Structure 1
């Protein structure tokens, strides 16, 4: 049991403040930010944190308890209720849950990724040079690893030499060292809906974020230019290919416009390409259009297996020494064992084969979703791991999330992706990849479809 200095990120809505607090509580429980048994702030502390009266907080906690989110113990406090410690992503649900929340596909027994990883580990255990792979290595990776990284990024259209590659411990590590190295106190320009890991890294580094409007084609050029002028930020973090959470793919004309604006205002681009390998025949990355101003973040985890925490960061050649220093300051040395597997898989074609299998599986699951959710508007491309669904105005996305959770189905709340506090859209991100099988996915989507087809319940009810 732990005390938690929880402060809600309140959504802008017409609902009463107490209701907005409960919605924020439910979203943070669903996201795993709060765990079972966590002690919530006292009524007075939370009232001070959000600028509310004690009566408002009392009503919020009472409503949260009625909805089964918390429990109160006289003399002890208010605690997050009925959650399971050890469930990393969705502590609201028991082990029979259907997980439609996270991005990455799991390693399933018998699939290509699982078999390849089993064989790779067995091979490593019998190698004569295992001792050498058990020590430290160069901060930014060996020459062979950097060459493999350049080859892997080349599959997404990034032209890079080994001298431009820094090996990282995954895309999140790459994001953190880039922000710490390149961003200043003016902050970071981000899409108004963006990858939560980037927001977490910026928050950890105490960097302000400046949300920029997006549409179905990605960043809106006029909005980006205005944000550059008003914020004076010199770093842009964006995902032009397979955007998370909307799955949008920025067309080439828009990419050229974004590059032109960044050049005009002297803005450095951090391009997240972690999900780009899933998209065949995507437009050229920003790194190909403006290599002198773009740092490209690639990894293997999303396209192969999540356990392969190896990322490749392409930068202008003169920046690599600075990035190696940042890598040394954060992890000192990545895992030589994982980097060796990554290098072998890239060089012998295993990584590409697993990526192709992931694409096929994603396409099959998108077909299932299209059949079950027929008539329900949403956005997705054919090989995306997830879909983006706006909820009609007469329904509340958090209501749907809670109703689904009551039936052991986890969904991704838009709250997680909103760069501007209080401005999360009334929407869901529905993962198709994390369900343990296509049959399980069908069951989960069928529950969601029934919830969406049903008439809205009272604002604060949860289905039994």
Structure 2
């Protein structure tokens, strides 16, 4: 592949030139001027362009590689990394590794989930009306399914009428439906750190994303107001309860301030509540505080078993026809078999029992993490599936990820969750869910603690 003719836009700064060049690489990845897989100019070519020594360019490329922006291949050159591809960091099919990475499946709470699924499938097989579950169903789900969705939403404080519910093939499908129905070419307001599925949905729909600053309590209302004014976007995607990846739970006062900004600027809210069932006694959801403008997403796969790909989207009743059209265009019909299991489990209490078992297992794993990582600065909720670990400034997150990979440990680098990957914080998300047992998780956390405590710094500290 020929090298790009990229020329860095260097800002005047007091810092060293090599750092300014690395900053320019990050900025142009964010702007879309540098694309994944592109080969950067050779050291000599870039040195000539910017009037610097080859040594300065070598250090600049090394700094960019430390930030996770590029990858050097001996004899081939320096290439822009694909900062949006979790697969390069967490190959889920490789079970020889301990998976604490970004695409981890939710906890399997002992054998309870497997036993419940086995019993449900056996019950379906014995039904006389099994044939009715083998065909297509209404695009937005049946009346019984929508009623079950309303009942499940009520467990997290969301009040909904049956005709406000659209049945989806999981929370990701619901996200695509909501954005396709709501968003304009002005794009979508998103948290500066967010679930990769939101970014993937926006990218697939060709919607620009506008990041909004976060603090320890979640979205910052003043930053949201500025983003509304600057971008013209009138759709916000956010996760106020069990934020992914930081685990933050937004206080009620902040939620009220957020709603006030959205009302002032006419912003519709897409509230991701897929992980909310794991948090007991959380503040009221945005769907309760501002039902006229909130589209709330939930699902069963995070709270019960991953295979139960059934989600529910609560939206104003006037949106139902548009959502059914979008559902027809994307999956045509959800699986009646999976939806029937969802209806049964919500009705007979199995879904709640599995949720409670998962909360308990998540709590036990968080306690294990605290024992291994307690002297490091990280953020976590007591029943979260993961934690957010800040990396000491003298090291880089991707450096740690690659060292862990060499020891068969998978981690989640922050740029996978960043709306602007080139400006990702120096942090990692550590999943506690995918390890097949607490003993395996303990081994993985022990390796991580050893790497964090290791004096093996990079040459550019």
> Which category of TM-score, normalised to the shorter sequence, fits these structures?
0.7 to 0.9
Contact kept, 8 Å, 1:188 with 1:208, in 2: the verdict is yes
Contact kept, 8 Å, 1:21 with 1:60, in 2: the verdict is no
Rounded to whole Å, the distance in 2 between the matches of 1:460 and 1:124 is 61
CA drift of 1:18 comes to: 9.3
Contact kept, 8 Å, 1:399 with 1:459, in 2: the verdict is no
Q: 1:309 aligned to 2:282?
A: no
Q: Which residue of 2 aligns with 1:226?
A: 226
339 and 18 in structure 1: CA distance in 2 versus 1, 3 angstrom threshold: farther
1:119-134 superposed matches below 5 A: 119-134=119-134
Q: Which residue of 2 aligns with 1:253?
A: 253
* Structure 1 SS opposite 2:333: coil
TM-score, length-scaled by structure 1: 0.83
Contact kept, 8 Å, 2:366 with 2:432, in 1: the verdict is yes
Q: Which residue of 2 aligns with 1:136?
A: 136
* Structure 2 SS opposite 1:394: coil
1:122-201 superposed matches below 5 A: 122-201=122-201
372 and 218 in structure 1: CA distance in 2 versus 1, 3 angstrom threshold: same
110 and 289 in structure 1: CA distance in 2 versus 1, 3 angstrom threshold: closer
Q: Which residue of 1 aligns with 2:410?
A: 410
Deviation digits for residues 132-160 of structure 1 (CA, Å, limit 9, x no counterpart): 11100000000000000000010000000
Q: Which residue of 2 aligns with 1:217?
A: 217
Contact kept, 8 Å, 1:140 with 1:327, in 2: the verdict is yes
Q: 1:240 aligned to 2:240?
A: yes
Q: Which residue of 2 aligns with 1:360?
A: 360
Contact kept, 8 Å, 1:94 with 1:408, in 2: the verdict is no
Deviation digits for residues 290-348 of structure 1 (CA, Å, limit 9, x no counterpart): 00010000001111111111100001111111111110111111111111111111111
* Structure 1 SS opposite 2:296: strand
1:416-427 superposed matches below 5 A: 416-427=416-427
Rounded to whole Å, the distance in 2 between the matches of 1:394 and 1:79 is 24
Q: Which residue of 1 aligns with 2:206?
A: 206
CA drift of 1:288 comes to: 0.2
Q: 1:449 aligned to 2:449?
A: yes
Contact kept, 8 Å, 1:228 with 1:265, in 2: the verdict is yes
CA drift of 1:272 comes to: 0.2
Q: Unpaired runs of 5+ in structure 2?
A: 1-5, 28-35, 81-86
Rounded to whole Å, the distance in 2 between the matches of 1:437 and 1:22 is 41
CA drift of 1:232 comes to: 1.2
Please tell me the root mean square deviation across aligned C-alpha atoms, in Å.
Answer: 3.7
459 and 426 in structure 1: CA distance in 2 versus 1, 3 angstrom threshold: farther
Q: Which residue of 1 aligns with 2:436?
A: 436
* Structure 2 SS opposite 1:166: strand
Count residues in correspondence.
Answer: 426
Contact kept, 8 Å, 1:387 with 1:429, in 2: the verdict is yes
* Structure 1 SS opposite 2:320: helix
Rounded to whole Å, the distance in 1 between the matches of 2:257 and 2:24 is 40
Deviation digits for residues 185-244 of structure 1 (CA, Å, limit 9, x no counterpart): 111111110111000111111111110111001111111111111111110000000000
1:51-62 superposed matches below 5 A: none
CA drift of 1:456 comes to: 4.0
Q: Unpaired runs of 5+ in structure 1?
A: 1-6, 25-33, 35-39, 81-86
TM-score, length-scaled by structure 2: 0.83
CA drift of 1:161 comes to: 1.0
CA drift of 1:451 comes to: 1.0
Q: Which residue of 2 aligns with 1:285?
A: 285
* Structure 1 SS opposite 2:411: strand
Rounded to whole Å, the distance in 2 between the matches of 1:261 and 1:352 is 35
93 and 146 in structure 1: CA distance in 2 versus 1, 3 angstrom threshold: closer
CA drift of 1:101 comes to: 1.0
